[in-house]
Structure 1
Amino acid sequence: MALPRRRLFEGFRLRDLRRRLGLSQAAMAARLGISVPYLSQIENNGRPITQIVLLALAREFPMEAADIGTEAETSTLLRTIDAATDTSIPAHPLSEPDVRRGLEQQPLLARRLVAVHEAWRRSQEQLRVLDDRFDTGSSEAAPLPWEEVRDWFQAEGNYIDAIDRSAEALADALDEGPVAQALEDRLRRWHGVRVIGEDSDGSQLSRFDAGSRTLALNSGLPPESRAFLLAHRLVRYEFANEMHHVVAEAGLASQASRELLSVGLANYAAGALLMPYASFRTRAREVRHDIDRLRQRFGVSFEQACHRLSTLQRPGTAGLPFFFCRVDMAGNITKRHSATRLQFAALGGACPLWIVHEAVAIPDRILVQLAEMPDGTRYVSMAKGLVKPSGSYARPPRRYAVALGCEEAHAADFVYADDLRLGGAATPIGASCRICPRTDCDQRAFPPAGSVIEIDADRRSVVPYAFR
């Protein structure tokens, strides 16, 4: 069954979108690749919004694409084009007109192409895991619990619909006023939990005594951490049934994995409660994803706001597709998620040329970078080094960096791209040395897995070998 050929006259939606974005007709027409008279005719319902225009809208304004036309049609077309034009596959890519024609004439074949492409991507991810295990000498047959939970969240797109919607409803039901006070009041009135302060050397953030139903919070916590811990305790009561159902349906192999998933779901729910989906997505769009403005508006930390942006994948009202990660001082990626084509190495560190490593050494300063992967996909990255005080001279502070980024095509909606020369030279990076095919990288730590090493004793370069 081919995609329905319906005449879509919703010019008023396109006009409202253009005005919300503050774009002139000329600027909007340029973004969509159409003429100004054609755009004017669409806005006045003199011409329908064609599939080509819908596709351009979905690419240029992904957060608003669902408001115009049919989400299912646009999503199917985008996934088919992604499969047919993937430059990482060594075959001649199809043109977009050919893809559209094929989807109309042979929809089952097109859907099969999408399924094969997604299976290929999963196999590449599995290869990354195997390469990591081989490189680290691991003989584990099954993934470790934290790996299994991480992979489960990635497979779910880092968006849990039932919990996210419940958190949004609970946020609406909270009392007016400071959110931490509202959370504390609900814990006391609805669940009989008393909240107290407790001095600590920083090794313990919170402690709950089930017998006295007392939640003790470290008195030295910053306000955003205190609010998060209150939210974390509250959602464990409010969403117990939803989280139990998700864990039961996840199909994880071990009890440790299931318990770890429960903690992860509570963390997810707490973030969704502090940053309700619709209001957070709307505000993020208004400020062009300026993290500092978002954290001030919602009373959260820089890292919490970055992480929440990477979870805005609700069907029909998705946010900008971001990748997000956290990197420690040793270069280990301790948090990772990608709603983009960028995939992180399953274990170990990331490419040394990525700006996030420099950010670790320069706390409280935002760095930006235009980077290009081996398949030609280009990303705008923002990274910031953070320091969390330990609460005691005897304990060193935690130092790490967080990174957030999107594909270059979405740069107009990402404030951190404003100072970059888009379309110009980009820093060539890869997922990690063990799976990066670049032959001319001076920062390579070791050759890619499965390659053949070539040594020439009469030639000396920065990297003392070549490979094929």
Structure 2
Amino acid sequence: MTRRPRIFAGTQLRALRDRWKLQQTELANLLSISSSYLSQLEHDDRPLTSRLAEKLATLFPIDWQEFKLDETEHVADALREALGDPIFANSMEPTSLTKLAEQQPEFARRFVEMHEIYRRTSQRLEIVDEAIAADGQAGSRLPWEEVRDWFHLSNNYVDNLDRSAEDLANSMFYEFGHVSGASMRKHLLEMHSVRVILEQTETLRHFDPRTRTLTINAGQPPSGIRFQLAYYIVTSSLSKDIEQIASSASLRTGIARELLRVGLSNYAAGAILMPYEKFRMAAREHRHDVDRLSLIFRTSFEQTCHRLSTLQRQGARGIPVFFCRVDMAGNITKRHSATRLQFARYGGSCPLWIVHEAVAIPDRVLVQLAETPDGVRYVSMAKGLVKTTGRFDRNPRRYAVALGCEEDHSNEFIYADSLDLSGRGTATPIGASCRICPRPDCDQRSYPPSDQTLTINHFKRNIVPYDLTAKSSLCRK
């Protein structure tokens, strides 16, 4: 068997320390090695061991994925991520993962692919199962639900469309770090002979094909006007890409396909305003501070949160986050999760989740450390938003957006700075929804879980008028 080449990663280690402003002694302590050993590694006097590579990938998962090592390390990292799935009871030793990737690379790749197929198949089964539970038949999903599920199963990332939008953005003029509105208007005029007019109208935008005039409602905030410009650039410049994706999608109705075209256009418009690599690097630099990123790219708070949830490009991923939008009635109108957190598809979400409080308190960022029944802890940020209609006789739209990540990535998430992450009792216990939450002692429970037996005691009354006798294996006290 061919001897595996030794890995020297001195440049990567020094870049890592610079990124996190760590002294040699601090990084050495994190890696449980001596400062002299780390110095030898940084000067390429010694190669990187598989144990240290695994430790670095665990401590700095986003940074380490950007460093190009060799194919063996890449496959070993992919194996480590796949084996981190809760379905596997025990993890493998780093040396064992590296040996498997080195000695059986084809098997390792197939295993990673198989796990990804399993994950996606499980998600599809959950979608069908919950549709049956909610409506009695799997075919009853509405067109917009089909489209929402299409984006979810695509990891909320459409590679060729995202790259095309990024190239389009890079071809236009940048002003203070963002694509300028003047540049977009110039692009429409020169490339598509479309003239843009801003005036007060009843619609957000309207295009007159006879005069080649795009009228945009001037009553929108600047971020809304910029989004409408980007949207029309997309429909003019990337229509073939969008049509190809929509035509090949497995959707049941023509209406769903039309909605997907709209969704893809919205997606690409966001990619023009926040080009992938520029946005990803800014998000890393500012630790995913949404207000800061909104100022840099001249986008709204919601647009920025949504874009953070799409950073799923192979080899250049952002931190895995979840994102959702919740209205005043608790309905989840947008959602995506690249984490282990899954949203309720039908019925209300957990009332203990901070997003519900945020709806009632607009323009204030709330943070929360939450723990789901499987023991995973999440840092959540939520902000209530109000979109004015510009008229007294029409109520403004009120809702909240939430963004969060698993506790393991809290160093990259500025909203974790004000939270106490030290103890297990500091997290708020939440669930997906009461219908599937196994917690037996929740004071906020609205109705019992569907998979547990109830016991009624007429001589005793707790917060809820029943006891749960079948405890779920996922429930942790």
* TM-score for both structures, normalised by structure 1: 0.91
Contact 2:129 2:138 in 1 (8 A): no
TM-aligned CA distance change 1:156 to 1:71, over 3 Å: farther
CA displacement at 1:196 relative to structure 2 = 1.3
TM-aligned CA distance change 1:187 to 1:36, over 3 Å: same
User: In the alignment, which residue of structure 2 is the partner of 1:144?
Assistant: 142
- Which amino acid in structure 2 is aligned with residue 197 of structure 1? L
Contact 2:287 2:413 in 1 (8 A): yes
User: In the alignment, which residue of structure 1 is the partner of 2:343?
Assistant: 344
- Which amino acid in structure 2 is aligned with residue 51 of structure 1? S
User: In the alignment, which residue of structure 1 is the partner of 2:153?
Assistant: 155
User: In the alignment, which residue of structure 2 is the partner of 1:322?
Assistant: 321
TM-aligned CA distance change 1:302 to 1:462, over 3 Å: same
Contact 1:310 1:321 in 2 (8 A): yes
Listed as ranges, the matches of 1:339-418 within 5 Å are: 339-418=338-417
CA displacement at 1:18 relative to structure 2 = 1.3
User: In the alignment, which residue of structure 1 is the partner of 2:456?
Assistant: 455
- Which amino acid in structure 2 is aligned with residue 330 of structure 1? A
Listed as ranges, the matches of 1:225-264 within 5 Å are: 225-264=224-263
TM-aligned CA distance change 1:325 to 1:35, over 3 Å: farther
Contact 2:370 2:378 in 1 (8 A): yes
* TM-score for both structures, normalised by structure 2: 0.89
- For residues 7 and 102 of structure 1, the distance between their equivalents in structure 2, rounded to whole angstroms, comes to 13
Q: Give runs of ≥4 in structure 1 deviating > 6 Å.
A: none
Q: Secondary structure at the match of 1:264?
A: helix
CA displacement at 1:131 relative to structure 2 = 5.6
TM-aligned CA distance change 1:33 to 1:446, over 3 Å: farther
- For residues 442 and 122 of structure 2, the distance between their equivalents in structure 1, rounded to whole angstroms, comes to 22
Deviations 1:420-442 (A, max 9, x none): 11132211111112222222212
User: Which of 85, 94, 100 is residue 97 of structure 2 equivalent to?
Assistant: 100
CA displacement at 1:418 relative to structure 2 = 0.6
Paired positions, count: 463
Contact 1:390 1:398 in 2 (8 A): yes
Contact 1:131 1:435 in 2 (8 A): no
- Which amino acid in structure 2 is aligned with residue 24 of structure 1? Q
CA root-mean-square deviation: 2.5
User: Which of 130, 133, 143 is residue 131 of structure 2 equivalent to?
Assistant: 133
CA displacement at 1:222 relative to structure 2 = 0.5
User: In the alignment, which residue of structure 1 is the partner of 2:473?
Assistant: none
Q: Secondary structure at the match of 1:141?
A: helix
Contact 1:8 1:69 in 2 (8 A): no
CA displacement at 1:239 relative to structure 2 = 0.9
Q: Secondary structure at the match of 1:343?
A: coil
Deviations 1:396-429 (A, max 9, x none): 1111111111111111111111111113221111
Percent identity among equivalent residues? 52
- For residues 170 and 106 of structure 2, the distance between their equivalents in structure 1, rounded to whole angstroms, comes to 43
The gaps in structure 2 that reach 5 residues or longer are: 471-477
- For residues 128 and 439 of structure 2, the distance between their equivalents in structure 1, rounded to whole angstroms, comes to 20
User: In the alignment, which residue of structure 1 is the partner of 2:26?
Assistant: 27
The gaps in structure 1 that reach 5 residues or longer are: none
User: In the alignment, which residue of structure 2 is the partner of 1:194?
Assistant: 195
CA displacement at 1:391 relative to structure 2 = 1.0
CA displacement at 1:67 relative to structure 2 = 3.0
CA displacement at 1:73 relative to structure 2 = 4.6
Please, which moves more after superposition, 346-355 or 46-55? Answer: 46-55
Contact 1:58 1:74 in 2 (8 A): no
Contact 2:197 2:214 in 1 (8 A): yes
TM-aligned CA distance change 1:450 to 1:37, over 3 Å: same
User: In the alignment, which residue of structure 2 is the partner of 1:442?
Assistant: 443
CA displacement at 1:372 relative to structure 2 = 1.1
TM-aligned CA distance change 1:370 to 1:92, over 3 Å: same
